[in-house]
A and B are shown apart, each in its own frame.
Chain A
């Protein structure tokens, strides 16, 4: 009897297991096409429109903000903003409750709607992000600021949307500092300039009397360190963007160059050259204590900290050719990581910490590339006649660098422009600047 019972139980168990064994399919691939997104113009009522004209000299600031958002998302290469002409629903109704069928019809997968009001010299912007396919709201936020900040509101909305849909922080509410260049190649006037990452709101920080090079943002505040020639001696300077005050960093009896902040913003790391030898030094900005990091008869330069402050990458010709090295932040445990053909320079540690960007010179061509921090997985993203000085976006996805064109014997045809490229190597774009530009440096997110 017990045997029969056991047997029945086993058969039952088998059947249950059989019934529950569902088909499982592993999906390990997807497409990397840009996500189709509809950015509806932000709705603005008539009163706000009047206020907008009086405050900003812009008739429809809602539409302008949506254009900023649209442009940001498009340049990221990850989104495909759909043409506004195809939109079936008006902005005011869409913001209250979008008809998802209408938006699905134009193949949108996400939708941004919003509303702008300007009252009492205050700009209030509400926006919502909708998932068209699921028919639900994904995010809703409101910002209040002074009306002149409307572009920045557009950048912040772009960052929020970008983060919600891609899973990583955005990089739109950021600024870029660079060296503005004007005039013929033999007599260039170089000034420090700062602008929004999309090329708007350019401001000049120096007058162009002295030669300036390699400006670098402090990751935590609005400070800039750069190289300037004073009385024909290159020295590292510190500039407060808000106050405009400048100071020389350290009192070195020689040339200092290639400065960069540590990730916590407390130190400046740079090269100091004396008697034909250059080594890497740090200076604490609080107590002004200078510390020597490398001590080698070769040229060590272009130092850059890892985001956790524990390591430093730099380039050195100690092997006979200029190559990239990594060491602990106290200068110990120096390891060469680049072993490819050609010369490697300007290593920059990614804010994510996983990659190091560099410039490579091989057979007369310049490359911008990335490699892992142990030197493996080298990938060259772009090749050109002359390009260098990559700088990471704060999310570690995009690199900005500058590219020069070849001039003829008379110095004609020369130009220097800023370019950006993302890690895929496909989304290469020129960054608009008012003048020729070189040596860009990307700030961290302003809204953080």
Chain B
């Protein structure tokens, strides 16, 4: 009798257990939400210059290593007070700031603490603000890996960004993310800090002319395409020319910053006056007309040194090849 009861209850327990464990709706598993895919819209020009990315990643890695190194060196809390140390350890950005401060000149980031302190005080008077914005001459500091009281004091004392020092470069989009600008947040809270935030933005601008990581030897795809598209419309190809391998005209251009052609040199100019090369002359004439018609060229807005001199290869072989 008891045996049957035991067997029955055993089975019941088993069935309930199986139902709970096996049936998915009983298990009440949390929904498996796919992770968000973040899409960042970037300028093509920043990415098409191929050597850009590897260089940038190297620099970022180097910077990270240096940060770690700095952290490990800072580990013994001998000279650094507790509260300062915490700040250094918790915020990587501050490390970077301190590094920048120690190596170069202080940037607007360096004033975070000061600004915070100021926030705690009463609303600053307009006079005080003016003082803040006025650029101050900063003493150049020797690089120091150790963060001592003096360093921190200097960081804290730094009030203003150096407005005319706009060559603070940002090497890549990745690093851009890392550089969190607290000025912007501060500006949201306090309208008077907008100036500082704007300054920071200006400094953060990646311009091709000022960016060391750009490959100076070539144009980006979009720049090249824009130039090509302009010249395509100007070049009336002499379609009567019979196909031959001699349908390539090379022209060397020297340009002014506004794209005006300063000098035009036919690279095979000897051919132009060679008897029997009349067809080449016709093609070269059409090329000259095309360039003059396109003058001034729509050149990239920056990076003059890259495109100051360029060679255009007018190749009619594809068009006249049948």
What residues of chain A have their CB less than 8 Å away from a CB belonging to chain B?
Answer: 18, 21-33, 35, 78, 109, 131, 133-134, 138, 162, 164-168, 352, 354, 377, 395, 397, 424
**B273-322 contacts to A (CB < 8 Å):** 278-279, 282-283, 285-286, 288-290, 292-293, 306-307, 309-319, 322
- CB contact between B239 and one of A29, A78, A134 (< 8 Å): that residue: A78
Tell whether, in the assembled complex, residue A168 and residue B310 are in contact, meaning their CB atoms are under 8 Å apart. Answer: no
User: In the complex, what distance in Å separates the CA atom of A164 from the CA atom of B238?
Assistant: 10
- Please name 20 further chain A to chain B contacts, defined as beta carbons within 8 Å, in addition to the given A31-B237, A134-B285, A168-B242, sorted by A numbering: A18-B217, A23-B309, A24-B310, A26-B315, A27-B228, A27-B235, A28-B317, A28-B319, A30-B290, A35-B236, A109-B293, A131-B288, A133-B288, A138-B285, A162-B240, A166-B238, A166-B241, A167-B240, A167-B242, A395-B240
User: In the complex, what distance in Å separates the CA atom of A30 from the CA atom of B241?
Assistant: 14
User: In the complex, what distance in Å separates the CA atom of A21 from the CA atom of B311?
Assistant: 10
A27 surroundings in chain B (CB, below 8 A): 228, 231-232, 235, 312-315
User: In the complex, what distance in Å separates the CA atom of A32 from the CA atom of B239?
Assistant: 7
B307 surroundings in chain A (CB, below 8 A): 23
Q: Give the size category of B's interface with A.
A: 35 or more
With both beta carbons as reference points, the residue of chain B lying nearest to A18 in the complex is identified as B217
User: In the complex, what distance in Å separates the CA atom of A25 from the CA atom of B227?
Assistant: 9
* A29, A78, A138, A395, most chain B CB atoms within 10 A: A29
A134 surroundings in chain B (CB, below 8 A): 285, 288-289, 292
**Chain B proximity of A417: nearest CB distance (Å):** 27
Tell whether, in the assembled complex, residue B218 and residue A23 are in contact, meaning their CB atoms are under 8 Å apart. Answer: yes
Tell whether, in the assembled complex, residue A23 and residue B237 are in contact, meaning their CB atoms are under 8 Å apart. Answer: no
Tell whether, in the assembled complex, residue B292 and residue A23 are in contact, meaning their CB atoms are under 8 Å apart. Answer: no
With both beta carbons as reference points, the residue of chain A lying nearest to B315 in the complex is identified as A28
User: In the complex, what distance in Å separates the CA atom of A29 from the CA atom of B311?
Assistant: 16
* B234, B239, B313, B314, most chain A CB atoms within 10 A: B239
Tell whether, in the assembled complex, residue B239 and residue A166 are in contact, meaning their CB atoms are under 8 Å apart. Answer: yes
A138-B285, A168-B240 given; A22·B311 CB < 8 A: yes
Tell whether, in the assembled complex, residue A167 and residue B241 are in contact, meaning their CB atoms are under 8 Å apart. Answer: yes
A24 surroundings in chain B (CB, below 8 A): 310-313
With both beta carbons as reference points, the residue of chain A lying nearest to B249 in the complex is identified as A27
**B204-227 contacts to A (CB < 8 Å):** 217-219, 224, 227
Tell whether, in the assembled complex, residue B313 and residue A23 are in contact, meaning their CB atoms are under 8 Å apart. Answer: no
A35 surroundings in chain B (CB, below 8 A): 236
With both beta carbons as reference points, the residue of chain B lying nearest to A164 in the complex is identified as B282
User: In the complex, what distance in Å separates the CA atom of A62 from the CA atom of B289?
Assistant: 28
A395 surroundings in chain B (CB, below 8 A): 240
Tell whether, in the assembled complex, residue B217 and residue A133 are in contact, meaning their CB atoms are under 8 Å apart. Answer: no
Counted as pairs of residues, one from A and one from B, with CB atoms less than 8 Å apart, the total is: 109
User: In the complex, what distance in Å separates the CA atom of A34 from the CA atom of B235?
Assistant: 11
User: In the complex, what distance in Å separates the CA atom of A26 from the CA atom of B251?
Assistant: 11
**Chain A proximity of B217: nearest CB distance (Å):** 5
With both beta carbons as reference points, the residue of chain B lying nearest to A169 in the complex is identified as B240
User: In the complex, what distance in Å separates the CA atom of A133 from the CA atom of B235?
Assistant: 13
Tell whether, in the assembled complex, residue B319 and residue A25 are in contact, meaning their CB atoms are under 8 Å apart. Answer: no
A133 surroundings in chain B (CB, below 8 A): 288-289, 292-293
> Any chain A CB within 8 A of the CB of B233?
yes
Tell whether, in the assembled complex, residue B285 and residue A78 are in contact, meaning their CB atoms are under 8 Å apart. Answer: no
Pairs across A and B, CB under 8 Å, 12 listed: A24-B311, A27-B313, A28-B317, A30-B232, A31-B233, A35-B236, A109-B236, A131-B285, A166-B238, A166-B282, A167-B241, A168-B242
Tell whether, in the assembled complex, residue B235 and residue A30 are in contact, meaning their CB atoms are under 8 Å apart. Answer: yes
- CB contact between B310 and one of A23, A31, A162, A424 (< 8 Å): that residue: A23
> Any chain A CB within 8 A of the CB of B252?
yes
User: In the complex, what distance in Å separates the CA atom of A21 from the CA atom of B219?
Assistant: 12
With both beta carbons as reference points, the residue of chain B lying nearest to A355 in the complex is identified as B322
Tell whether, in the assembled complex, residue B313 and residue A26 are in contact, meaning their CB atoms are under 8 Å apart. Answer: yes
Tell whether, in the assembled complex, residue B217 and residue A25 are in contact, meaning their CB atoms are under 8 Å apart. Answer: no
A23-B306, A28-B318 given; A167·B288 CB < 8 A: no
Tell whether, in the assembled complex, residue B319 and residue A23 are in contact, meaning their CB atoms are under 8 Å apart. Answer: no
A165 surroundings in chain B (CB, below 8 A): 238, 282, 285
With both beta carbons as reference points, the residue of chain A lying nearest to B216 in the complex is identified as A18
User: In the complex, what distance in Å separates the CA atom of A78 from the CA atom of B307?
Assistant: 34
Tell whether, in the assembled complex, residue B235 and residue A25 are in contact, meaning their CB atoms are under 8 Å apart. Answer: no
B217 surroundings in chain A (CB, below 8 A): 18, 21, 23
Tell whether, in the assembled complex, residue A33 and residue B236 are in contact, meaning their CB atoms are under 8 Å apart. Answer: yes
B242 surroundings in chain A (CB, below 8 A): 167-168, 352
B317 surroundings in chain A (CB, below 8 A): 28
A167 surroundings in chain B (CB, below 8 A): 238, 240-242, 278-279, 282-283
